[in-house]
């Protein structure tokens, strides 16, 4: 089908051309050009920051009641809903997502989180402090949660639509103004938001969409008028953003890399464990920060687990995600495909046993595909077990005791998520409390990403939280006004 692409930036309530020209955006499944995206210039970036700053300092948005902002965002939601039939195919073509992923984890989950945020934003977070008596004076204070200011929203290519929503919507609802900058691989999933904001009638400068190269990115993380940066991406880039933000002491929400462990205890349901283990490196071709790419399996069942995982990996249908029968699509670009090849060789050289995949699929001439790949007998200290690959590669690591499993799971610079499979849910819960990650899921967890559950990591997986009431409070400052009560 023909994609309806917005090829202009949205700055200060107007659609403008990219001052640095255009850039081809390709379909990672076919390597064909799907459109020419606007490439923002430093002049565009200056205009976007100036518009967002002016809208926050002098515009009506932060002064509106929470109900008035919610009314605007309900219009934003309705405009997105009306474009579902355009958005889902765009995510397939631009991000290489399979239909089930584009329609599910991208569209449905993103819109579910949107609804949740509008519901929670209706709550009055203002609170009265506990009164105290000092001598003959009774004193207390009112604590308000006020907007931070101008927010830079910087999103990655793997789940662009959902993350554009999860970051922008709560920031807007809490009274901030936003500059959204997407990955250069998936700009159209962001430029469409300009259309949406315009249709919803958001005041000028409240929401801006910006693209551009490294200089523009650095400007959006360093300019003194930016008050908060929310970023999802690699730990390396996250560290660079911290450096750029440090001189002006900006607030940061960083959702970074992961090397999440899945602990399979000897009493586990192997059908469920193998199913989740397979998804842990084939879902979106392994391009997910919270995927369980370290699979810690009790040695008494490891042989059977590995045999069954190998059998299931061989059945995965790889191909163009536009085909409804496809189960795993491409990686985003050739550089990602080459990274998977590099880490496969690193795994072989380390002495790990390659059990499946390790190369490009022979039947696909075009596209950035890579076979589902996993290693057995992996040393948890090795590169393939410690470094985030962001591709369809997993490690199976044996263990003998619960204590060893906990130690292995925590032996990582990343701490985003952890997973358990065990019939003894109580014991799994006890173990989960000893894992130093942002979240743990037992036997598949809730079956969905809960909107009321805060999401984020620790250590090199970053800090700050999305979703839940925490995801709204992140975009506020707690300000107190104290007074004599009597």
Q: Does 403 share its domain with 470?
A: no
Q: Does 233 share its domain with 114?
A: yes
Q: Does 327 share its domain with 372?
A: yes
pLDDT at 79: 98
The separation between the first and the last C-alpha atoms of the chain, rounded to the nearest angstrom, is 70
4, part of any domain: no
124, part of any domain: yes
313 pLDDT higher than 90: yes
66 Ramachandran zone, left/alpha/beta (phi>0; psi -120 to 50): alpha
Q: Does 299 share its domain with 236?
A: no
Angle made by CA atoms 56, 58, 64, in degrees to the nearest 5? 70
* Residue 126, number of CB atoms within 10 A of its CB: 10
Closest alpha carbon to 442 in 429, 457, 456, 455: 429
The yes-or-no answer on residue 255 being catalytic is: yes
Q: What are the tens digits of pLDDT across the range 415-436?
A: 999 999 999 999 999 999 999 9
**For residue 170, what is the enclosing H or E element?**
helix 160-173
2, part of any domain: no
Buried b (16+ CB within 10 A) or exposed e, 405-415: bbebbeebebb
The two structure tokens encoding residue 15 = 């659609």
CA 454 to chain CA mean position, Å: 13
**For residue 179, what is the enclosing H or E element?**
strand 177-181
Q: Does 299 share its domain with 336?
A: yes
299 pLDDT higher than 70: yes
What's the CATH code of the domain at 321? Answer: 3.40.309.10
216, part of any domain: yes
Q: Does 219 share its domain with 271?
A: no
Total of domains in the chain: 2
Q: Does 103 share its domain with 210?
A: yes
459, part of any domain: no
Residue entry with tokens 């059990």: 355
The yes-or-no answer on residue 119 being catalytic is: no
pLDDT at 136: 82
Q: How confident is residue 1, by pLDDT bands cut at 50, 70 and 90?
A: low
Inter-residue contact 231 to 151 (CB < 8 Å)? no
Strand partners, 481: 142
458, part of any domain: no
Q: Does 241 share its domain with 272?
A: no
Q: Which of 14, 46, 123, 255 is catalytic?
A: 255
2 pLDDT higher than 90: no
Note down the domain range covering 474: 9-256+464-484
201 Ramachandran zone, left/alpha/beta (phi>0; psi -120 to 50): left
Q: Which of 289, 395, 418, 440 is catalytic?
A: 289
Strand partners, 459: 414
Mean pLDDT of the chain: 97
Q: What are the tens digits of pLDDT across the range 252-278?
A: 999 999 999 999 999 999 999 999 999
The pLDDT of 351-368, averaged and rounded, is: 97
39, part of any domain: yes
Q: Does 267 share its domain with 230?
A: no
* Residue 141, number of CB atoms within 10 A of its CB: 17
Q: What are the tens digits of pLDDT across the range 204-259?
A: 999 999 999 999 999 999 999 999 999 999 999 999 999 999 999 999 999 999 99
pLDDT at 133: 86
Q: What percent of the chain clears pLDDT 90, i.e. is strictly above it?
A: 95
What's the CATH code of the domain at 142? Answer: 3.40.605.10
Q: Does 251 share its domain with 267?
A: no
The pLDDT of 382-407, averaged and rounded, is: 98
379, part of any domain: yes
pLDDT at 462: 98
Q: How confident is residue 138, by pLDDT bands cut at 50, 70 and 90?
A: confident
* Residue 394, number of CB atoms within 10 A of its CB: 31
Q: What are the tens digits of pLDDT across the range 330-355?
A: 999 999 999 999 999 999 999 999 99
Q: How confident is residue 26, by pLDDT bands cut at 50, 70 and 90?
A: very high
The pLDDT of 22-48, averaged and rounded, is: 98
182 pLDDT higher than 90: yes
Q: Does 290 share its domain with 370?
A: yes
Q: How confident is residue 135, by pLDDT bands cut at 50, 70 and 90?
A: confident
């Amino acid at each position: 089908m023909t994609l309806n692409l917005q090829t202009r930036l949205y700055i200060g309530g107007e659609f403008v051309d990219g001052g640095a020209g255009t850039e081809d955006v390709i379909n990672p499944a076919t390597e064909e050009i799907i459109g020419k995206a606007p490439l923002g210039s430093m002049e565009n970036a200056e205009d976007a920051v100036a518009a967002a700053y002016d809208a926050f300092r002098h515009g009506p948005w932060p002064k509106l009641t929470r109900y008035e902002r919610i009314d605007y965002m309900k219009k934003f939601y309705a405009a997105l809903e009306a474009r579902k039939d355009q958005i889902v195919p765009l995510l397939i073509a631009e991000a290489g997502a399979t239909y089930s992923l584009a329609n599910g984890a991208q569209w449905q989950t993103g819109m579910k989180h949107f609804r949740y945020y509008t519901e929670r934003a209706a709550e009055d977070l203002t609170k009265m402090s506990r009164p105290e008596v000092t001598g003959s004076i009774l004193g207390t204070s009112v604590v308000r949660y006020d907007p931070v200011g101008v927010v830079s929203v910087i999103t990655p290519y793997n789940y662009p639509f959902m993350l554009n929503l999860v970051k922008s919507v709560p920031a807007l609802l809490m009274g901030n103004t936003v500059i959204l900058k997407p990955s250069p691989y998936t700009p159209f999933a962001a430029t469409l938001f300009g259309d949406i904001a315009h249709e919803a009638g958001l005041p000028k400068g409240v929401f801006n969409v910006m693209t551009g190269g490294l200089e523009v990115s650095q400007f959006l993380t360093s300019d003194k008028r930016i008050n908060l940066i929310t970023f999802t991406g690699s730990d390396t880039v996250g560290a660079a953003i911290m450096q750029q933000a440090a001189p002006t002491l900006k607030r940061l929400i960083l959702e970074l890399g992961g090397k999440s462990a899945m602990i399979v205890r000897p009493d586990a349901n192997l059908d469920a464990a193998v199913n989740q283990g397979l998804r842990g490196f084939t879902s979106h071709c392994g391009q997910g920060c919270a995927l369980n790419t370290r699979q810690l399996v009790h040695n008494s069942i490891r042989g059977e687990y590995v045999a069954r995982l190998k059998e299931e990996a061989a059945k995965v249908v790889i191909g163009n995600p536009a085909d409804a029968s496809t189960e795993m699509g491409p990686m985003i670009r050739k550089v990602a495909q080459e990274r998977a090849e590099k880490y496969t060789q690193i795994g072989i050289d380390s002495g790990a046993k390659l059990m499946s995949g390790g190369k490009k699929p022979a039947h696909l001439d075009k596209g950035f595909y890579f076979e589902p790949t996993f290693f057995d007998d992996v040393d948890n200290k090795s590169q393939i077990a410690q470094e985030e690959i962001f591709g369809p590669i997993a490690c199976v690591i044996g263990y003998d005791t619960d204590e060893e499993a906990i130690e292995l799971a925590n032996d990582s610079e990343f701490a985003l998520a952890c997973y358990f499979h065990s019939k003894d849910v109580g014991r799994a819960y006890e173990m989960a409390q000893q894992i130093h990650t942002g979240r743990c899921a037992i036997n598949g967890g809730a079956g969905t990403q809960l909107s009321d559950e805060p999401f984020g990591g620790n250590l090199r997986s970053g800090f700050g939280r999305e979703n839940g009431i925490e995801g709204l409070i992140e975009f506020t400052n707690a300000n107190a006004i104290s007074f004599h009560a009597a």
